[in-house]
Each structure stands twice: as structure tokens, then as C-alpha cells.
């Protein structure tokens, strides 16, 4: 049985990025479905408070944020690679743009146009997650209309990247940037086809999306959430990778808190066991899961002394 457990739900676009990475690498994995809105009583004991989706678990190690999750999959299954070295700088820049500049307008546009398809309580939950008051339907509709032009100003850039006939977005080989640009576009039609017309004028995008869809999702087996907790409880975390801390970092072994620097800023407390250029990790204890190590990417997370 694969020891990879993905905590996710079907319409999460960031989860779709990881499902496709699992498919690209031909991996088997266990699928734990988590609630799309808080509370997440069987996830938070594992992560220590992080509630965003998805989370990857392997035994007593938890990997938060797709930036790190995809790298961890690469470390465990290097071939085929999602990080061809010649493309890595371009890929990182493209992925950053797609997930931080393109994604939000798409979310606001798609959600506001599909109010009749949103799960109950979703919008209120997302507002709390961002520290905002819950919007009423008219506000969401206005946000959708404001964001439609911002979406339309950016999608042609994707068509243009592909229009020299290349198969993949950052060069001759598929890489993590393909997944990072794909999942915001996937979100357009994840619930309904209502906005499919927005992508219709772009033949290069359509062909490229079909190539990525063909990666599939690997081989997944459903797992009950309690079983994932039990697996963590019965496992020991991996020995932390050697650290290369910066002088500004809190000392290794000290109590720290980590949280996302954008939204869903729930604090995770623990003992700093790894500080590297790209990753930070804390060890923590929970009555339901014993000792676990929770890993985060360096970029996008705030690390400070507790
Ligand atoms: N930077 C994060 C963003 C993850 C994210 O925003 N996921 C959305 C779902 S697509 C989320 O967490 N929504 C709130 C939730 O699921 O509780 C990542 O790459 O994993």
C-alpha cells in the first residue's frame, strides 16, 4: 500500500494540481476527503491548525501547501521529473503569477457567476478565512463583474505562451508551471459549464489542457479519516533533513509559530526541526496523532519565535 495520503475534496483546484502531479508520476495514493469548509476536525489534529486544502501525509509527516507538496512528490519519485533544471526559474515565475495574480480574479468571477452551485456556507467560511465580513449575493455578483475583465486581460498571455506551437508552457518538457497554470483554468468549469465560453477562443490552451488532463490522477484508494489519524499515531516522523538556517531564523529546537502570509492564517505551533532555503518544519504533539512533523514551504509562510 502506498504511504501517500492526500487530504482533499473534489472541487479544490489546488488539490487538482496535486492529483495531476500524482497522475503524471504514475503514483498510487490514499484519498481522504475533508470538508471544504471549517471545522476540519480530522485534519487539524494532524496539521496543528493549518486548514487549507490539500495536505499530503506520509506516516507522521504532513506537507502543507502545494508548492511544497509537489516538491515532496518529486523527492520521493524523481522520475518523470516535474522540475527540469533548464526550466526551473521560468517555471517558478510563471507559477507565481498564475497562483497569485490570475487565480484570485478567476475565483471571484467563477464563484459570483455560480452562486446557485456553491455549497451552503462556503462563501461565509472563505470570508472568515480572509478576515472579511461575509458577502451577500449582490456583493458577490458585483465582485464577479469587476473581476471578469481582469481575467480576460490575463488569459491571452497563456495562449500567447503556447502559440509558438510548444507543447508545454515553460519549455520543451512538462513541469510544475503547467500544473500551476492549468488548475486556475480548470476551476472555470469545475462546477458548471456556464463559463466555458471564456476559454473557447483559445485553441492552443484547449489542446494544452487536454494534454495535461491526460496525466490522470494516478491510482487512488479511498481512506477513512480515522485511519489516516491512526497511521500517523503508529508512525515515527522521518529524521529531519539537514538544516541550513539563516542567521535571522529562530534557533533550531526552539518553540516557533508558522502561518501563511496571505489567507487562512491559522497559527501552527511547534519545535523548529528544519529550516532550509525552501522549507521549514516543526515537530508537535497531539493526543489523537502523537508526535508529527509538519512541513511548509519557506516562501509564503511567516516563521517567528513563539
Ligand atoms: N498556497 C496554497 C493555497 C491552497 C488553497 O488556497 N486552497 C483552497 C482550496 S482550492 C483552500 O484552502 N480553501 C479553503 C479550504 O479548503 O479550507 C497551496 O498552494 O496549497
| CB 8 within 8 Å of CB 251 | no
pTM above 0.85, yes or no: yes
The Cα 58–Cα 12 span in angstroms is 20
> 47 CB under 6 A from ligand 1?
no
Tell me the three cell numbers of residue 60.
Answer: 507522521
Instruction: Give the CB-side neighbour count of residue 187, counting CA atoms within 13 A.
Output: 26
The Cα 178–Cα 185 span in angstroms is 11
What sign for the dihedral angle of Cα 110, 113, 116, 119? positive
Strand-strand pairing, 55-58 and 4-8: antiparallel
Q: Which of 53, 56, 295 to mutate to test ligand 1, by most ligand atoms within 8 A of the CB atom?
A: 53
Phi-psi category of residue 212: left, alpha or beta, with phi > 0 → left and psi -120 to 50 → alpha: alpha
Closest Cα to atom 6 of ligand 1: 52
> 259 CB under 6 A from ligand 1?
no
Cis before 58 (ω within 30): no
Q: Which atom of ligand 1 is nearest to the CA of 52?
A: 12
**pLDDT, tens only, 126-158:** 999 999 999 999 999 999 999 999 999 999 999
Asked whether the predicted pLDDT for residue 1 surpasses 90, the reply is no
Asked whether the predicted pLDDT for residue 104 surpasses 80, the reply is yes
pLDDT range class, residue 296, cuts 50, 70, 90: very high
Give the pLDDT confidence score for residue 67 in this predicted structure.
Answer: 98
Q: Which atom of ligand 1 is nearest to the CA of 34?
A: 16
**pLDDT, tens only, 268-281:** 999 999 999 999 99
Three-state DSSP class for 75?
helix
Residue partners of 39: CB distance under 8 A and separation at least 6: none
- DSSP 8-state symbol, 42: T
Q: Which of 6, 14, 38, 98 to mutate to test ligand 1, by most ligand atoms within 8 A of the CB atom?
A: 14
In whole angstroms, what separates CA 256 from the centre of its chain?
A: 23
18 CA to middle of ligand 1, Å?
Answer: 12
Task: Give bridge partners of residue 284 from the DSSP assignment.
Answer: 292
The Cα 85–Cα 187 span in angstroms is 29
> 52 CB under 6 A from ligand 1?
yes
Closest Cα to atom 2 of ligand 1: 65
Structural domains of the chain sorted by starting position, each given as residue range(s) with its CATH number in brackets:
4-80+220-305 (3.40.30.110), 85-213 (1.20.1050.10)
77 CA to middle of ligand 1, Å?
Answer: 24
Amino acid at each position: 500500500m502506498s504511504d501517500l495520503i492526500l487530504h482533499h475534496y473534489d472541487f479544490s483546484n489546488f488539490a487538482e494540481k496535486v492529483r495531476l502531479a500524482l497522475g503524471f508520476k504514475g503514483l498510487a495514493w490514499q484519498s481522504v476527503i475533508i470538508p471544504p469548509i471549517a471545522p476540519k476536525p480530522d485534519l487539524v489534529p494532524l496539521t496543528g491548525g493549518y486548514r487549507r486544502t490539500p495536505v499530503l501525509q506520509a506516516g507522521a509527516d504532513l506537507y502543507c501547501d502545494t508548492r511544497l507538496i509537489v516538491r515532496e512528490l518529486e523527492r520521493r519519485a524523481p522520475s518523470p521529473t516535474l522540475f527540469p533544471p533548464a526550466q526551473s526559474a521560468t517555471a517558478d515565475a510563471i507559477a507565481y503569477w498564475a497562483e497569485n495574480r490570475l487565480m484570485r480574479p478567476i475565483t471571484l468571477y467563477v464563484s459570483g457567476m455560480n452562486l446557485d452551485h456553491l455549497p451552503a456556507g462556503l462563501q461565509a467560511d472563505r470570508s472568515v478565512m480572509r478576515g472579511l465580513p461575509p458577502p451577500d449575493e449582490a456583493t458577490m455578483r458585483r465582485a464577479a463583474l469587476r473581476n471578469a475583465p481582469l481575467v480576460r486581460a490575463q488569459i491571452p498571455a497563456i495562449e500567447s505562451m503556447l502559440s509558438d506551437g510548444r507543447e508545454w508552457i515553460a519549455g520543451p518538457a512538462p513541469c510544475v508551471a503547467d500544473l500551476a497554470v492549468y488548475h486556475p483554468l480548470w476551476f472555470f468549469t469545475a462546477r458548471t459549464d456556464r463559463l466555458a465560453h471564456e476559454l473557447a477562443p483559445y485553441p492552443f490552451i484547449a489542446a494544452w489542457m487536454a494534454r495535461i488532463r491526460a496525466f490522470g490522477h494516478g491510482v487512488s484508494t479511498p481512506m477513512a479519516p480515522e485511519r489516516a489519524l491512526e497511521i500517523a499515531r503508529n508512525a515515527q516522523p522521518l529524521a529531519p533533513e539537514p538544516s541550513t538556517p539563516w542567521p535571522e531564523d529562530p534557533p533550531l529546537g526552539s518553540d516557533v509559530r508558522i502561518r501563511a502570509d496571505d489567507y487562512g492564517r491559522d497559527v501552527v505551533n511547534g519545535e523548529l526541526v528544519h529550516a532550509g532555503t525552501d522549507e521549514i518544519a516543526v515537530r508537535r504533539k497531539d493526543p489523537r496523532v502523537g508526535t508529527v512533523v509538519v512541513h511548509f514551504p519557506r516562501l509564503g509562510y511567516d516563521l517567528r519565535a513563539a
